[in-house]
Structure 1
Amino acid sequence: MRIRLALRYTAISSLVLLIVMSISALLHIEKVQKVFTEKALREADVLSEMILRDSHHLMLADNNEQLQLMIEEIGRTPRVKRARILGKEGIVVFSMNKHEIGTTLSEKDESCSFCHLEGSKALVDVPIEKRSRTFSDDTGTQYLSITRGIYNEPSCYTAACHAHSPEEKKIGVLDMVISQDQMANLAHTHHQDVIVSTMIMLIVLSFCHYLLTKKYICDPIQGLLEQTQALSGGDLSARVKHLSGDEVGELGRSFNTMADNLAQAQIELKDWGNTLEHKVEMRTAEITDMQGQLLRSAKLASMGELVAGVAHEINNPLTGILMFASLSSKTPDLPPQVKDNLDLIVSETGRCAKIVRGLLEFARESFPEKKLDSINRIIEHTLELVSHQIIFQDVDIRYHGEDGLPDLEVDTDQLQQVFLNMFINAGQAMPSGGTLKITTKLLEKKNEVEIIVEDTGAGISQENLDKIFDPFFSTKAQKGFGLGLSVSYGIINNHGGHVDVKSREGEGTRFTIYLPIAGAASLEGAGKEGMSS
């Protein structure tokens, strides 16, 4: 590709140079040919002038023999092919060719035609262009024919040997034919030199043009092509390194700018893909959590309806059993074994009544009676209630409430019940002691308050973690009914908040409660649907 481009441009430029230089060479050759012709013409005219001057005295002395000898001597010169003197009637008087002496030439003869234009009388002082011509013979040899008039000077018409009247202007003609071989050879040599020098210049210029085109055009384009192919193959580091200050360099800079933008776009695309993947994961987690919450809410709603019916049906007979067993146990004549059995009935019936009361409490529709209150004050008051219980004897309670938290629209008693359940659960999870951390924090971007309750207790297994808000599910054998967290979950929902829990067995549990700063009342309907209690 690179060589073809260089050769193509070199061929085009060489063709243009060939045309221009050929025209220039032809013009030069034509001009030199004209100069050579003019020079030869002047030399021939000077030679004829010299011959006339030399023959002038011989004519005045009427020395015809000596004049003929001079003409013959001139004819022996290699360049002179014809030399003769014509009389005024066109008679050949003297000639290097003795056989034509005495012959008469017509006015149409080439030697006479210059001064007899179109049959006119002999002209005087004809310019050299009119009395000379060039021609070639059958062998191709070039000749120059020149004639020169012999005029009737005073010394001629006053001499005793001539009988010319003073009125006659021209009394004869010197006719000469001179070979142009030497001049033609010189011109031919010059023409060859011009052609050879032109070809050499053309070759040198073409070679230089090829090298310059290859270096300043083809090589940069080839480099740009290689980097373009590398970039199209996925190499985003491809750059044009050697940049010139011309248009090709500007093209390379544009390519580098495009490659930089493409690399930046690739980085941004990867970042966007990673961000999108992260957002998809977050959204999937949120959807999964929402599905869990909806499922939990549906379970709680259906459980609430079932519990409400069962509790109402059990409560009345259970009250009668408790009342009659209690009265019977107070009869003084009862045997000890019967009294013990009645006391056991009263105790277990009371336990059943307590369970029924919890069921009714779980199933009852309790709408929060909201008013502005400080979440820090509610937590501090709840800690005062539970901190003196024996289960917190070996527990290190650490509370950090963020200053300046805005008051929330909450039902103080219900939230206190939530915190009481969580604190007691935490204390029961640390029978051998541990640390209970409570932290409050304002989340301005989410317009929420975050409450974290974290213990270092036994923790909850992963298989039970999704069940802790289900009613009647408890990990405390013989110590609870499994309704505390279910009730707490419903209360938080009724306040427009939500609860997250994370736990590991042997490391502890962390509950995170989120309560809205504003608009909690508008979510009351959603909480009511999630917890039809």
Structure 2
Amino acid sequence: MRLNLISKLTIATGAVLLCTMALFAYLNLNSFKDLLLQEAISEADKITETIIRSTHNQMLRDDRPLFYKTIAEIGNQRGVERIRLINKTGRVIYSTQESETGTMLNKQAEICAICHGEKELRLTASSKNRSRRFFDSKGEEFLGITNAIYNEESCFTASCHFHPETFKVLGVLDVVVSLDRMHTLIDVYRNRSIALVLLLITLTSLSLTLFTQKLVNRPVKELLEHTKMLSRGELDGSVPSFSNDELGELAQSFNSMTLSLKKARSELEGWGKNLEQMVQERTQELTKIQAQLIRSEKLASLGEVVAGIAHEINNPLTGILVFSSLIHSNPVLDETLKNDIETVIRETKRCASIVKGLLEFSRCSTPQKGLTSVNTISDTALSLIEHQILFQDITIRREYGENVPQLLLDPNQIEQVFINIFLNAAQAMQGEGVLAIRSRVDYARNEVLFSITDNGCGIPEAHLDKVFDPFFSTKENKGTGLGLSVSYGIIQEHGGSIEVQSEVGAGTTFTIHLPVLQQEQLEAAPARPEAPGTPQTA
């Protein structure tokens, strides 16, 4: 016989509930029983205290008839089985059961063992330790509790008494009460607990059955039917949304899977039509990669040519600058020619700056790498430029990641990259705005990301692909257009990459990606090089 899902869930849940609630009822019943027993001990102990306190004056006067009458009246209370007074020698002085009066108890008797330890007399004991439980011949359970009658000062100084002061205990008062009421309450509580457990299990099972039918069984049937439709190749159906729980997510997953299968079949059917387009897309990607390779080769070739040209031009420029400076400082120079000589000097210096940029661009020096922190290099670069007038009204925000590891870098070259980008950002903001510098670790790609963001004028989208090209500049009559090209080459020499995102009127973000060293690379890495000096900017 096959059981459906709702039957299995109901049986399993009912079994778990039955075991759990049975254990709970058992523990609760034992706890209730212990509570009642403690209450019975407390009530019996109160009776002994009441007797001792109420008969204290009678004992001082040695009024035994009145003393015994008081005990007898208290012994007639409901539930009190027996009260007896035992002296220190173990003789029963008085008992509400007359047959016991005058009898002698052995120290090995249960009542005596309560107060007498193995080696010495226990003068004080808790009510629990002074109590005992026993059964009579009829099987009825009783609770006995003893309370010592101490030889207080009022006792051994009384004129009618003969007990010396050395006696600590004059006797023991023993009260025995019936536990029938406790057992009656326990039976009633147990019966109620069993009825309540059965009622709760029944109601819970019915509720779980109804909820399971609505929340589990019906959605599962819908999913099963949809699965059969998929196996028949019917991809137009969908599973209705049940709720926002796991079954609802499963239904959404089935619908997503159906759409994916339908889309895949459509793609397979239209593969022939789309093949040409896919080939064209792949060709465009290859063309883009090829263009990047060509660009790298051009930059390398251009660097060699530029290096030769720069060296050839640098010597004549030096001569022009020296002689023009000498002419300008000659006191016999006609004043009308000084402006012309100053123009020559100024333009010669501009040419020298361009030549210097060309040399920086063409320089292929090997980086002097060592373990260092990009955050430290950034702070050093900022300390060199943040006090310039250009940065006077610019707010610099350092948002460095706390767990950015040290990298294998040439601090001088990386500082040059940072200064180039910082200066470009300040010029784009026209000396007023916010410069945000952030660093963090991309654990998925195992690299450090260092981003520099300004809220300046931005770069037009048409120029974004050219910003790293040599001699390209968006500044009118300013700069050589080599700063970012040099920075691009430095980052590549460090095994990283640099990218730019910009929006006209909103600002620009340059992001530098630098690789994180593996453990074996860290162990083999050289020590940190000397701190960078004054960087050369292009």
TM bracket (short chain): 0.3 to 0.5
Which structure has the larger Rg?
Answer: 1
TM-score with structure 2 length normalisation?
A: 0.46
